[in-house]
Copies of this chain bind each other. A is one copy, B any other.
Amino acid sequence: MCRWMGWIGQPLLIEELLFKTDHGIVDQSMHSRLGAEPTNGDGFGLGWYGVGDGPGVYRSVAPAWGDPNLRDLAAHVASPLFLAHVRAAIGSPVQQTNCHPFREGRWLFVHNGFINGFRDLRRDMMLAMEPDRFADVEGSTDSEVVFGLALTFGLETDQLGALERTVGLVEALAARHGVESAVQASFGVSDGECLWAVRYATEGTPRSLFASEDADAVRRLHPGNERFEQLTKADRLIVSEPFSDLPGVWEEIPPSSAVTARPDGTLEQRPFVPVAP
């Protein structure tokens, strides 16, 4: 079922959010409260921007709660923008290439949810990708193909538009195959500058998704944390599931909408409307 989180703001030791936060994403790997299952133990991934060209990615098939390398990496890498994901496999193998985030150049992509009937739609979805991207598919998840489609449909220049066209295509293919409730998703995307997030389901309530209110809210969330005392208005968290139960700190992103978090701290929200091809 998966859970993910994104940080954009001042450079932060990654462990501050992965391990030193009440009910952070690593805790959610074993004790998710809002997910379909409490356990997200089928691997995890971390993608971060910082030193070196493009994002670094660390993915493992170990459950996030028990991986000593993740703990060490998080304690020794600082980043102004990172995405973390814990996975609950629903059918596809537990392998690194099926772990999120997926990467292409400067771009990272995470997905919580699934393409219904993916086994029936997979071939048509992969055919709709640019042939060159087809050749680079390494794993067997729906999410990697969704990312390949989004790149095919212009993700690098029109992020939300590309995702609308991707979802529209998947829904059209699903209709052709008689598959209902095609898309269930929250998506996270970044190029190292901005962080985009989408909450959408073809039918029913989409996966949960929240944004932190503003720097003051985050500070209230971690009153004893000296680092967070330094928070500015440019800092923002987007998460599948709130890190704590403090009321008034998290803003739920409504179904069928998308947000863009920018480096200056602005958070733009707009409707997310799939576009049939």
Residues of B within 8 A of A119 (CB): 135-136
A122 to B127, CA, bound (A): 12
Let me know if B73 and A58 touch, CB within 8 A: yes
A39 to B138, CA, bound (A): 23
Chain A 39-58 against B: per-residue CB contact (8 Å), 1 yes, 0 no?
Answer: 10110000010111101111
- A137 within 8 A of partner (CB): yes
Let me know if B75 and A56 touch, CB within 8 A: yes
Residues of B within 8 A of A140 (CB): 97, 137-139
Let me know if A58 and B72 touch, CB within 8 A: yes
A94 to B41, CA, bound (A): 14
- A63 within 8 A of partner (CB): yes
Q: With A51-B77, A123-B134 known to touch, is A42 a contact of B66 (CB < 8 Å)?
A: yes
In A77-94, which residues have CB < 8 Å from any B CB?
77-78, 89, 92-94
Let me know if B93 and A68 touch, CB within 8 A: yes
A117 shortest CB reach to chain B, Å: 10
- A266 within 8 A of partner (CB): no
A78 to B52, CA, bound (A): 8
- A120 within 8 A of partner (CB): yes
- A224 within 8 A of partner (CB): no
A60 to B69, CA, bound (A): 8
7 CB contacts below 8 A, A to B, read: A30-B39, A30-B41, A51-B76, A51-B77, A57-B72, A60-B69, A93-B95
